[in-house]
Amino acid sequence: MRLRLRKSVLGTAAATTALALVLTGCGSNPEAGKVGTVEDPVTIRFAWWGNDSRAKTTLDVIKDFEAANPTIKVQGENTEFSSYWDKMATQIAGGTTPDVFAMSGAYPSEYASRGVLLDLDEVKDQIDTSKFAEGTVDLGKIEDKQYTITAGVNAMSMVIDPKVFEAAGVELPDDETWTWDDYAEVAAEITQKSPAGTFGTTPMANDSFLAVWARQHGEDLYTDDGKKLGISEDTATKWFELNKKLMETGGAPSASQTVEDGSAQPEMTLMGQGKQGMKISWSNQMNSYSGSPLVMMKLPGESKTPGTWLRSSMEYAISSKSPHPKEAAMFINYLVNNVDAATKIKSDRGMPANTELKAAITPLLKESQQKEAEYLDRIAEMDIEPPLPFPAGSSATMEVLNRFNTDVLFGKISPRDAAKGFIQEVNSNLG
């Protein structure tokens, strides 16, 4: 897989105000400089988000690492994604930051700007990136400094349930030619020809999707200096209008059902229950929706004016206050370069950046995961220039976007006013 990448992000709804607090715990740490032994190993903490399945896999990998490195113990800390960032903000403000922690979205930019992240050049001898695909190392760079290591890559995609299409008697779209108008028409046709409760699609209020939409319209979501949104009011208005159109034409469910579906676990969504034909989704999430064979396609409009890019689905960082940065780096190196770890993790955190690991796990992947690998290869072959990193201050963008989109769907505000309000509020956050 050839990748041409730069760091990209996924915004979240979690609050980050605690990060603005003065960080404590900056004094000397009695653990600093300790050399672990088999009898008295050093302990590092590793925090990540995810479901029980990811937690079990991660704990298994930790046991393997400890067996291979008996002078190091790893304390695993799993949290649901919805509360992960609030927990991290509290720990950082309280001086109890984990040694190693998972990151995504704009948080690397925000944490780096506050001195939370270790410059990984300080531990470069412990992390081997020589086998990483082209550009994937740069995913972790912010202003030319290496702050994170990618755990894997993914991309925005359209997940298709062929069974829903077949039952409705609707042909699968051609993702080399279809447009957003085609998408809306197909969604409405599926709903019309399906049993009550089955729909063509559901709207997706995600800032990375909005970034794709902006790029397809010749714009960027943020300006290069990161101080304000780059998307125009007209382009944002068209995005809100699309989501409203999907609901009004019957291609998507009611506003209340859309909100409910957006907060459900993947297997409990309409797509997970086999009641939805199409869903805009991160590529690595397809396998979590359903046991039924699903298909992954390009988003509408991609072949005419591509906007999708390969991004880091999860990243690993080290606390700048960690008393054991070397051991923390050794653990990250194990996660991203060890074949045994890769055969357990597979594509759960995105496709490995290490090309040898990707080749090793591909035969082990389920059919849907192999489809994801093929899709990412298609995106990589398009050689699309990625956007600049989403800036500090943008981690709340997705929450703002989702709130305004919900108001549009409930008829509380027009798409034009939603675009105006969205741009004003996000610009205020960035400022």
Residue 13's pLDDT is 37
CA distance 75 to 296: 36
Stated as kind and residue range, the H or E segment containing 260 is helix 255-262
**CA-closest candidate to residue 216, choices 198, 201, 196, 238:** 238
How much is the average pLDDT of 377-405? 88
- List of residues 6+ apart from 72 with CB closer than 8 A: 36, 41, 42, 43, 44, 65, 66, 324, 327, 330, 331
Confidence of residue 385 (pLDDT cuts 50, 70, 90): confident
Domains and CATH numbers, the chain: 42-151+313-378 (3.40.190.10), 162-276+393-430 (3.40.190.10)
Highest mean pLDDT among 79-83, 198-202, 279-283: 198-202
In contact, 146 and 140? CB cutoff 8 Å: yes
Q: Which residue has the tokens 């290591």?
A: 149
Whether the per-residue pLDDT at 307 is higher than 90: the answer is yes
Q: Which of 11-15, 47-51, 132-136 has the lowest mean pLDDT?
A: 11-15
CA distance 292 to 273: 9
How much is the average pLDDT of 407-428? 98
* Percent of the chain topping pLDDT 70: 93
Residue 29's pLDDT is 66
Residue 26's pLDDT is 44
Residue 20's pLDDT is 43
Selected residue with higher pLDDT from 321 and 33: 321
Whether the per-residue pLDDT at 2 is higher than 50: the answer is no
CA distance 329 to 125: 9
The pLDDT tens digits of the residues spanning 246-263 come to 999 999 999 999 999 998
Whether the per-residue pLDDT at 316 is higher than 50: the answer is yes
How much is the average pLDDT of 266-279? 93
- List of residues 6+ apart from 256 with CB closer than 8 A: none
Q: Which residue has the tokens 């949104």?
A: 229
Whether the per-residue pLDDT at 148 is higher than 90: the answer is yes
Residue 167's pLDDT is 97
Residue 413's pLDDT is 98
- Maximum CA pair distance of the chain? 68
Q: Which of 11-25, 59-73, 199-213, 348-362 has the lowest mean pLDDT?
A: 11-25
The pLDDT tens digits of the residues spanning 187-233 come to 999 999 999 999 999 999 899 999 999 999 999 999 998 999 999 99
